[in-house]
Amino acid sequence: MDFRIEKDTMGQVQVPAHVYWGAQTQRSIENFKIARDINRMPIEIIRAFAYLKKAAAITNMEAGVLPKEKCDLIGQVCDEILTGSLDDQFPLVVWQTGSGTQSNMNANEVIAYRAHVLHGGELADDHKFIHPNDDVNKSQSSNDTFPTAMHIAAYKMLIETTIPGIEKLRDTLQAKSEAFMNVVKIGRTHFMDATPLTLGQEFSGYVAQLNHGLRAIRNTLTHLSELALGGTAVGTGINTPKGYSENVAKHIASLTGLPFITAPNKFESLAAHDGIVEAHGALKTVAVSLMKIANDVRMLSSGPRSGIGEIHIPDNEPGSSIMPGKVNPTQCEALTMVAAQVMGNDVAINIGGSNGHFELNVFKPVMIYNFLHSARLIGEACVSFNDKCAVGIEPLEDNIRKHVQNSLMLVTALNPKIGYYNAAAIAQNAHKKGITLKESALEYELKDLDFKHMTAEQFDEWVRPENMVGR
């Protein structure tokens, strides 16, 4: 491989001749060979840096500290990054410095050296027209750029992937709830049969869960909209022109189409990442909801002949290498795995977020890596579960009726008529003898009442499942 020589404050470094990155990126490649094949810095962070660097260049140009020609070149490269044409120029792993310095410098170097080439220069030139630190990083520090990129990437992922995915599933479940509202089924608590409800009522709980989750996510967006940029090294804004913080946030908002503002307190936005912790807490809440929903659907669809079998779900693929015709609830299983991963991600984010006492959080890369992982998983898993499972859910009404008719918990309807202990004795007698609830009620001698036996007409009048669903 051909190399060129680049230098940083520590000296000279050999860099592959054809790449746009420089010495600092190369040092990180060589020093952090940790899961390089699977744990690259998320591309969403790279895109966020492109928005950030373009906005910074415009702001510096408007402040009179960066020539327009350099501003335009920086913006041109940032546009290329946003198209994905330079994706292979960002090779760094998550497990680098906790401040994200290397990622910031990777962006600075690629933008500067690509701009130099666009200006007519060669990568091998000793002097480059645009300098990574003095031009691309002007008015910035790794300490305020990386947290800014974190918030940009997190906000965009929530808006573009997570929320739409959850909403799609929520809307389907809402439609199913309305369609199934009159399908009376037996209830279950502790997995044991309980008093009736309707399938629609059961599904309405799922809808409410997701609505609460969506509300929780949206409530975090205000905090995520606050950008650290302008705080530079420690929050004081050293080496920034007047009005920089407000103006750069304005330009980022314009470029992204999202309502970003400058953080009112840069000491918080650099040293703490409570906004990321808060937002991921909302994602964890959604994960908990999805675990419940997926397991309910898995349970209710069990069978098709020897399980509960109250709902039908679409078949996705064969479920066994040995049992012909077996089909498993694969979308449910996928959703529960996603939920488990999100809960695990939350632990790492919480630990990372609690380390702001370094006065810049040194867990930034792993926090945003896990955040984006969770946000994407939830959004895409909701769409998959919706399209391949939820839309095809239908009640199996014959099985539903059978379970209702066989349940001893219908006896609850007799409590107001004959009292709790008489009703309990009827249910216990039916279970002991293996007879129906009605048969047990008619043969049982009632205690402490002015009549000794219930009539068939009374039983049919009092025990009506459709009247037990609370509507």
Task: Indicate which residues carry an active-site annotation.
Answer: 190, 320
- Give me the long-range contacts of 356-360 (CB less than 8 A, separation at least 24): 356/271, 356/272, 356/273, 357/271, 358/271, 359/234, 359/270, 359/271, 360/99, 360/143, 360/234, 360/270, 360/271
Indicate the SS3 state at residue 423: helix
- Can you point out the beta strands (E) in 256-325? 261-262, 311-312
Q: What is the DSSP letter of 466?
A: G
Contacts of residue 24, Cβ cutoff 8 Å, sequence gap at least 6: 8, 102, 105, 106, 109, 132
User: Are the beta carbons of 115 and 129 closer than 8 angstroms?
Assistant: yes
Q: Is the dihedral of CA 198, 200, 205, 206 positive or negative?
A: positive
Chain centroid, CA 91 distance in Å: 25
Contacts of residue 407, Cβ cutoff 8 Å, sequence gap at least 6: 186, 193, 196, 437
Indicate the SS3 state at residue 201: helix
3-state helix, strand, coil in the chain (%, to 5): 60, 10, 30
For 236, the token pair is: 């004081």
Torsion, Cα of 233, 238, 243, 249 (10° steps): -10
Please provide the size of the chain in residues: 471
